[in-house]
Amino acid sequence: MTRKLFGTDGVRGRANTYPMTAEMALKLGAAAGRYFRRDGGSAHRVVIGKDTRLSGYMLENALTAGLTSTGMNVLLLGPVPTPAVGFLTRSMRADVGVMISASHNPHQDNGIKFFGPDGFKLSDEAEAEIEAIVEAEIQLAQAANIGRAKRIEDGRGRYQEFVKTTFPAGLRLDGLKVVIDCANGAAYKAAPEVLWELGATVVPVGVSPNGTNINDRCGSTYTQTAAEAVVAHGADVGICLDGDADRVMILDETGRVADGDQIMAMMAARWATDGRLRGGALVATVMSNLGLERFLDARGIGLERTAVGDRYVVERMRAGGFNLGGEQSGHIVMTDYATTGDGLIAGLQFLAEMARTAAPASGLIRQFETVPQMLKNVRFADGKTPLEQPSVQAVIQANTLRIAGKGRILIRKSGTEPLIRVMAECEDEVMLVQVVDEIVGAVEAAV
């Protein structure tokens, strides 16, 4: 069964434009309610969280209407990180969790992500079934069975208390000055409060959301602002989250950035030494740098690669019994603690290593030398298929042969935006630039 609405991370698009309209949110809510009420009964509930986008109000109300129309009782969490929804779905014994967020995208975009009762994101098959219900006539509840909605005032606090339990009990953050950039997003209250309660001196950045400034020149996709704050305040480390706080980038005391690959390398090595790394391997995507693979191999640690998308990382982790995985973009998944990427918990793991070793951040963020890598994006109009054009395929094939034995090429269509992503790795940086530019030029000509 194919999916049209759902991409690699839920349903996503420009707010008030198909499919991110109030009408579609209502239908999705009703379809999800019907899907999760297949066994009947009257005790069904759903938790809904959101980030700080202006369009979140509209989509929250529409989803609530759709869900209650099929008999689901809705528990509204307000602005909370995506991993909080996964956690609270399980904690509150809900049948389904919903997060309204477009993650690292600008405020004009929004998205709807669903979590099952186990707190994990839905499978492709489940999403396809919900789509089929959207396209059919949805069976509504009888008037007496319409669901209720209730706002949960302490959802964020419950999540914060859980997050603190993931930090080693014998450690504190006393003496550490930490810049925390919350991207004007979902963690703008939770992250600074957790760090302060663990003893850190906190310098907050990106904690004044106004509905339109989420991810705007701040957060994990724009680390310059946090880097400037680290230097200006003489901070020991910087932590940059994205809009829904499921990604993280770490900055050392000079403002230098460590991406997800470097963070995963540090954690994998530490967990392997401590005998905590289940399956003896890290799960990462095809985007992770070849340098990470070499680093792990030298330590007898395996690397399991998946398609791009944290949900595919999680699926492989669950299938193989692994407990650590993630993406270069900063999704770090630790199934000992969370059901999805959690930027705050990953940041705490890094801080714990600083506290345990008394090493500066600069001594921890560079675990391996990266193989030169270049990534360029080409935007295209929805409905176009530039990668299927013969002219583009010819250029890709020629450059694949050219780089063979020296590096690799990865070209894919983004699952969250109308972009073609062209990535290559090669020890020869001159060849790397030439290969990427030639392919990008061919794609641009086609679009």
Section 278-297 average pLDDT: 96
pLDDT of 416 above 80: no
pLDDT for 187 equals 98
Contact 31, 96 (CB under 8 A): no
Q: Which two tokens stand for residue 337?
A: 């603690």
> Among residues 254, 289, 322, which one ends one of the domains?
254
Q: Are residues 334 and 408 part of one domain? A: no
DSSP category for residue 418? S
Strands across the sheet with 149-151, in order?
11-14, 109-115, 96-100, 45-50, 73-79, 149-151
The CA distance from 40 to 101, in Å, is: 30
Cis preceding linkage at 19, omega within 30: yes
∠ CA 135-141-147, nearest 5°, is 110
Q: Are residues 165 and 145 part of one domain? A: no
**Domain assignment present for 15:** yes
Q: Are residues 186 and 122 part of one domain? A: no
Question: Residue 421 forms beta bridges with which residues?
Answer: 377, 412
**Domain assignment present for 207:** yes
| Tens digits of residue pLDDT in 288-343 | 999 999 999 999 999 999 998 898 999 999 999 999 999 999 999 999 999 999 99
Q: Which two tokens stand for residue 113?
A: 């992500």
Helix, strand, coil percent content, the chain, rounded in steps of 5: 40, 20, 40
Q: Are residues 145 and 16 part of one domain? A: yes
Q: What contacts 52, CB < 8 A, 6 or more positions away?
A: 79, 184, 185, 186, 188, 209, 211, 214, 243
Sign of torsion, CA 412 413 415 421? positive
pLDDT of 90 above 80: yes
Name the active-site residue from 55, 69, 101, 103: 103
pLDDT of 414 above 90: no
Q: Are residues 36 and 71 part of one domain? A: yes
pLDDT of 42 above 70: no
pLDDT for 129 equals 95
pLDDT for 50 equals 98
pLDDT for 302 equals 98
Q: Which two tokens stand for residue 372?
A: 């030169």
The CA distance from 108 to 212, in Å, is: 8
The CA distance from 245 to 185, in Å, is: 7
Q: Are residues 301 and 378 part of one domain? A: no
pLDDT for 146 equals 95
Least confident segment among 213-222, 268-277, 315-324, 411-420? 411-420
pLDDT for 444 equals 92
> Pairing relation of β-strands 45-50 and 149-151?
unpaired
Q: Are residues 142 and 31 part of one domain? A: yes
**Domain assignment present for 419:** yes
The CA distance from 157 to 80, in Å, is: 10
Contact 350, 342 (CB under 8 A): no
Question: Residue 183 forms beta bridges with which residues?
Answer: none
The CA distance from 344 to 326, in Å, is: 14
pLDDT of 252 above 70: yes
∠ CA 318-259-218, nearest 5°, is 110
Residue with tokens 């949900």: 311
**Domain assignment present for 368:** no
Question: Residue 50 forms beta bridges with which residues?
Answer: 79, 100
| Tens digits of residue pLDDT in 344-397 | 999 999 999 999 999 999 999 999 999 999 999 999 886 677 888 999 999 999
Q: Are residues 146 and 168 part of one domain? A: no
Q: Are residues 293 and 166 part of one domain? A: no
Q: What contacts 124, CB < 8 A, 6 or more positions away?
A: 3, 6
Task: Please name which of 235, 264, 253 lies closest in space to residue 361, comparing C-alpha atoms.
Answer: 253
pTM over 0.85: yes
State which H helix or E strand residue 311 sits in: helix 310-320
| Tens digits of residue pLDDT in 93-136 | 999 999 999 999 999 999 999 999 999 999 989 999 999 999 99
Which CATH number belongs to the domain containing residue 277 in this structure? Answer: 3.40.120.10
pLDDT of 1 above 60: no
How many domains is the chain partitioned into structurally?
Answer: 4
> Among residues 153, 184, 201, which one ends one of the domains?
153
Q: Are residues 166 and 148 part of one domain? A: no
pLDDT for 415 equals 72
Total count of residues recorded for the chain: 447
The CA distance from 404 to 428, in Å, is: 12
Q: Is 288 a catalytic residue?
A: no
Question: Residue 47 forms beta bridges with which residues?
Answer: 75, 97
φ, ψ dihedrals at 65, nearest 5°: -60, -45
Q: Are residues 31 and 115 part of one domain? A: yes
Average pLDDT over the chain, rounded to an integer:
95
Q: Which residues of 79-90 are buried (b: 16+ CB within 10 A; e: fewer)?
A: bbbbbbbbbbbb
The CA distance from 438 to 420, in Å, is: 14
Q: What contacts 398, CB < 8 A, 6 or more positions away?
A: none
With cut-offs at 50, 70 and 90, classify the pLDDT of residue 235. very high
Task: Please name which of 250, 241, 263, 272 lies closest in space to residue 342, comparing C-alpha atoms.
Answer: 241
Strands across the sheet with 407-413, in order?
373-379, 419-426, 407-413
Angle (deg, nearest 10), helices 343-357 and 260-273: 60
Which CATH number belongs to the domain containing residue 379 in this structure? Answer: 3.30.310.50
**Domain assignment present for 5:** no
Q: Which two tokens stand for residue 31?
A: 């379809």
Q: Which two tokens stand for residue 20?
A: 């991110």
**Domain assignment present for 4:** no
The CA distance from 162 to 171, in Å, is: 16
**Domain assignment present for 143:** yes
pLDDT of 248 above 90: yes
pLDDT for 9 equals 86
**Domain assignment present for 355:** yes
Domain that holds residue 47: 11-153
Q: Are residues 379 and 358 part of one domain? A: no
> Among residues 153, 181, 209, which one ends one of the domains?
153
